[in-house]
Amino acid sequence: MNRTQLAATRSALTFVAGAALAGLLVLGACSTSPELAQETVAPLAPTEAVARAETPEASERAATTETDESAPAESGLAPAPTPEQKPESQPEQSAASPQLAIDQIEPALQPVVTGLDQPLFVTHAGDGSGRLFIVEKPGVVRILRDGQLLDAPFLDIRDRVGSSASEQGLLSLAFPAGFAATGHFFVNYTDLDGNTVVARYQVQPESPDTADAAAESIVLQIEQPASNHNGGMLAFGPDGYLYIGTGDGGAAFDRFGNGQNPDTLLGKMLRIDVTSDPSTPYLIPPDNPWAGAETDGPQVRDEIWAFGLRNPWRYSFDRLTGDLWIADVGQNRYEEIHFTPSGSPGGLNYGWPIQEGSACIEGDACDRSGLEQPILEYDHSGHCSVTGGHVYRGGAYPALQGVYFYGDYCSGAIWAAAPGDGNGWQSALVMRSGLLLSSFGEDETGEVYLTDIAGGGVYRLGLAE
């Protein structure tokens, strides 16, 4: 059995046969507590699937709460053959152990730029220029160079971006490793019809701070049945392939039955090759888990790397270890963080809509066989929607090396997480920022940044003096 076949058997796929009954989408308000209640997640016992912190509320990226009278019933494909042993969900201690105990971390946020129009993401080009690229929801990318915001936008595609709904807009930006040579970069946005578009653009040869908005090359389009759960994140993995996180299509309780459906790109982590042959939109990596593989049940789309995601709004690769951290926005009970070690061949099932966090959607029991369990989760007690972050790998604060920072969109709470002394993880609430925390990001040196969609600011994460 080759690697592709092995990967294809890693997960016992459960197919959701029916859609849920109609639900009600209600706009909800988020509250922020003025107190910093120190919340520490105990290490996982060897038999536990997840560590829980006492926090969050609502589950929508734009502070919305969903309710539904019923959840989808489980029906399933026959389990695949027993897979090879999975890597343990625990990073190397030498690569991820912080010098400072997480409950002793006292972050400080340093304003970098203000006055932006609904910033959703911040990243770098990896080209040695030191520039920060800031994504604004309506469809503009701005450049911050040497601490100054350039007047002219790097990219302006407001004429083709639909951003009227809270989870729509220009959602992310990714630069491949060869950007300095090719000038190609990629964006993810919702179009005027509300559908997902992944597109490639080209920097103007005579002006490295300006992209050619007219020279759009469509990589991938996905029809969206609702305005929410668009995912939207793009990230190049250490393997050089583009990873695309897609939501389940929206509404409530996976109403459209996409999370476990192998014949749709929704509710998945996709993995495609967009750099090997610019003459074609994309290629399928030959080692994608289901690429060309025969299965005992329904065939799986070749682009799929993993199943069972609800709305993976933000995820990141650890620049040192290559580990993948996915924050998946919850329904109405739990927000969750998944850890996938570097080198995983994929073929994973993150569990939605069988589980929300580590809890079964229907009752107290469900078939968890073949499902990846979150390493961290928090419940809905004053917060609303997880915003995935980064493992700190910068040089300015050595004590933070190996700490994973993540937050909550509505409350602005920020947590720090790291491996515990045993077989589990520890997480502590280290700050209530007061921001409407839309994203984390990194610069070229590994320093971590945050975006505040309501206040229009970008902040650098540091330590209080």
> Is residue 191's pLDDT more than 80?
yes
Which pLDDT belongs to residue 95? 56
> Is the dihedral angle over the CA atoms 126, 130, 131, 137 positive or is it negative?
positive
The answer to whether residues 229 and 249 touch, using CB atoms and an 8 Å cutoff, is yes
349 or 62, which is more confident = 349
Beta-carbon contacts of 166 under 8 Å, excluding residues fewer than 6 positions away, are: 60, 61, 62, 63, 64, 227, 228
Closest CA to 338 of 325, 351, 349, 348: 325
- Cα distances (Å, whole numbers) of residue 396 to 74, 380, 401, 431: 49, 34, 10, 19
Give yes or no for a contact between 308 and 371, defined as CB atoms under 8 angstroms apart: yes
In 40-87, which ranges are E strands?
40-41, 51-53, 64-68
Between 430 and 9, the higher pLDDT residue: 430
- Which stretch of 34-43, 95-104, 436-445 has the lowest confidence by average pLDDT? 34-43
pLDDT at 30 over 50: no
Tokens of 255: 């109403």
For 423, which DSSP code? S
Nearest to 15 by CA among 76, 71, 73, 72: 76
Give the integer Cα–Cα distance in Å for 150 and 173: 18
- What tokens does 392 get? 């700190």
| Secondary structure (3-state) at 171 | strand
Report residue 154 as tokens. Answer: 């790097």
pLDDT given at position 383: 87
- Evaluate if residue 455 carries a pLDDT over 70: yes
Residue range 71-92: mean pLDDT, rounded:
36
The token duo for 224 is 């969206």
* Whole-number pLDDT of residue 58: 35
Taking residues 324-331, what's their average pLDDT? 98
CATH architecture of 3-8+39-68+94-463: 6 Propeller (2.120)
Q: What is the chain's Cα-based Rg?
A: 21
Which pLDDT does position 276 carry in this prediction? 97
Residue-wise pLDDT tens digits, 237-252: 999 999 999 999 999 9
Compute the average pLDDT of residues 273-299: 91
Can you tell me the distance from the alpha carbon of 66 to that of 64, in angstroms, rounded to the nearest whole number? Answer: 7
Residue 210 has pLDDT above 80, yes or no: yes
Whether pLDDT at 3 is above 60: no
pLDDT at 305: 98
Question: Residue 147: exposed, middle, or buried by beta-carbon count in 10 A (0-12, 13-18, 19+)?
Answer: exposed
The proportion of the chain whose per-residue pLDDT surpasses 70, expressed as a percent, equals: 79
pLDDT range class, residue 323, cuts 50, 70, 90: very high
Question: CA quadruple 329, 331, 334, 339: dihedral positive or negative?
Answer: negative
| pLDDT of the residue at 97 | 61
Q: State both tokens at 213.
A: 């908005």
- As a whole number, the mean pLDDT across the chain is 83
Of the candidates 6, 14, 7, 5, the one whose C-alpha atom is nearest the C-alpha of residue 361 is 14
> Average of pLDDT values for 300-329?
98
Q: What is the mean pLDDT of residues 278-294?
A: 94
- Are 405 and 448 in contact by the 8 Å Cβ rule? The answer is yes
How many Å apart are CA 373 and CA 356, to the nearest integer? 10
- In this prediction, residue 403 has a pLDDT band, given cuts at 50, 70 and 90, of very high
Closest CA to 412 of 391, 389, 442, 395: 389
Amino acid identity of 150?
L
pLDDT in tens, 150-175: 999 999 999 999 999 999 999 999 99
pLDDT at 78 over 60: no
Residues 6 or more apart in contact with residue 133 via CB below 8 angstroms: 122, 123, 124, 125, 141, 142, 143, 144, 154, 173, 175
Average pLDDT of 135-151?
98
Average pLDDT over every residue of 174-194: 97
Does residue 340 register a pLDDT over 60?
Answer: yes
- Which residues lie closer than 8 Å to 320 by C-beta, 6 or more apart? 95, 391, 393
364 falls in which pLDDT band (50, 70, 90)?
Answer: confident
pLDDT value, residue 349? 98
Least confident of 61-65, 345-349, 395-399: 61-65
Residue 292: per-residue pLDDT: 85
pLDDT at 28: 28
% of the chain surpassing 90 pLDDT: 74
Which pair of structure tokens corresponds to residue 176?
A: 């491949």
Residue 265 has pLDDT above 60, yes or no: yes
Res 22 pLDDT > 80: no
Give yes or no for residue 98 having a pLDDT over 90. Answer: no
Asked if the model's pLDDT at residue 254 lies above 70, the reply is yes
Q: Is 180 helix (H, G, I), strand (E, B) or coil?
A: helix
Residue type, 243: Y
Task: Check if the beta carbon of residue 63 is closer than 8 Å to that of residue 385.
Answer: yes
